Structure 1
Amino acid sequence: MSYRPPIDPALVRKLVDTQFPQWADLPLTLLDPAGSDHVIHRLGPALTVRLPRHDGAIGQATKDLTWLPRLAPHLPLAIPAPVAVGTPDLGYPWPWAVTRWLPGEVATTTSDTPETALALADFLLALQSIPPSTGLNSAPLAARDESCRADIAAAAATFDAAALTDVWNAALSAPAWTRPPVLFHGDFHIGNLLTENGHLSAVIDFGGLGAGDPAPDLTIAFTLLSARTRPIFRDRLDVDDATWARGRGWSLAGGINAFVSYAHTNPRIAAATTRQIAETLLG
Structure 2
Amino acid sequence: MRTPAAEVAVTVDLVRSLLREQHPDLAGLPLTLHSSGWDNVILRLGDDLAVRIPRRGSAAALAANEQRWLGPVAARAGVPVPAPVRVGRPGCGYPWPWSVIPWFEGRVAAALPVPERGRLAAPLAAFTARMHVPAPGDAPPNPVRGVPLASRDARVRERLAGAPFPRADELLPLWERLSATAVWQGPPVWIHGDLHPANILASTGGAPGLAAVLDFGDLTSGDPATDLAVAWMMFDAPGRAAFRAARERLSPVDPATWDRARAWAVSFGSLMASPSTDNPLLAAVGAHTVDQVLSASGH
Give the TM-score normalised by the residue count of structure 2: 0.85
Note the C-alpha offset of 1:216. 0.6
1:281 aligns with 2:283: no
1:9 to 8, 12, 29: 12
1:271 to 284, 291, 294: 284
SS in 1 for 2:237: coil
SS in 2 for 1:93: coil
Measure, in 2, the Cα distance between the counterparts of 1:14 and 1:125: 41
Task: Name the amino acid aligned to 2:179.
Answer: L
Give the TM-score normalised by the residue count of structure 1: 0.89
Structure 1 residues 94 and 119, CA gap change in structure 2 (3 angstroms):
same
Counterpart of 1:44 in structure 2 is 46
1:123 to 117, 123, 127: 127
Note the C-alpha offset of 1:241. 2.6
Task: Name the amino acid aligned to 1:246.
Answer: R
Measure, in 1, the Cα distance between the counterparts of 2:243 and 2:265: 15
Measure, in 1, the Cα distance between the counterparts of 2:105 and 2:51: 15
- In the alignment of these two chains, the number of paired residues is 278
Structure 1 residues 110 and 235, CA gap change in structure 2 (3 angstroms):
closer
CA contact (8 A) 2:197 2:285 kept: no
CA contact (8 A) 1:11 1:90 kept: yes
Structure 2: state its 5+ residue gaps: none
Counterpart of 1:244 in structure 2 is 258
Note the C-alpha offset of 1:167. 2.2
Structure scoring higher RCO (CA < 8 A, sep ≥ 6) equals: 2
Note the C-alpha offset of 1:110. 4.8
Structure 1 residues 180 and 268, CA gap change in structure 2 (3 angstroms):
closer
Task: Name the amino acid aligned to 1:135.
Answer: D
Task: Name the amino acid aligned to 2:166.
Answer: F
Counterpart of 2:211 in structure 1 is 201
| Identical-residue share of aligned pairs (%) | 38
Task: Name the amino acid aligned to 1:195.
Answer: A
RMSD of aligned residue pairs (Cα, Å): 2.1
SS in 2 for 1:58: helix
Matches within 5 A, 1:1-283: 4-32=7-35, 34-107=36-109, 108=112, 109-113=114-118, 115-129=119-133, 131-136=134-139, 137=141, 138-154=146-162, 156-196=163-203, 197=205, 198-237=208-247, 238-260=252-274, 263=277, 265-282=278-295, 283=298
Note the C-alpha offset of 1:199. 1.6
User: For 1:1-45, what per-residue CA distance to the aligned partner results, in whole angstroms no more than 9, with x for missing partners?
Assistant: 78732222222222222222111111111113x532211001111
Measure, in 1, the Cα distance between the counterparts of 2:212 and 2:57: 26
Task: Name the amino acid aligned to 1:126.
Answer: R
Structure 1: state its 5+ residue gaps: none
Structure 1 residues 158 and 91, CA gap change in structure 2 (3 angstroms):
same
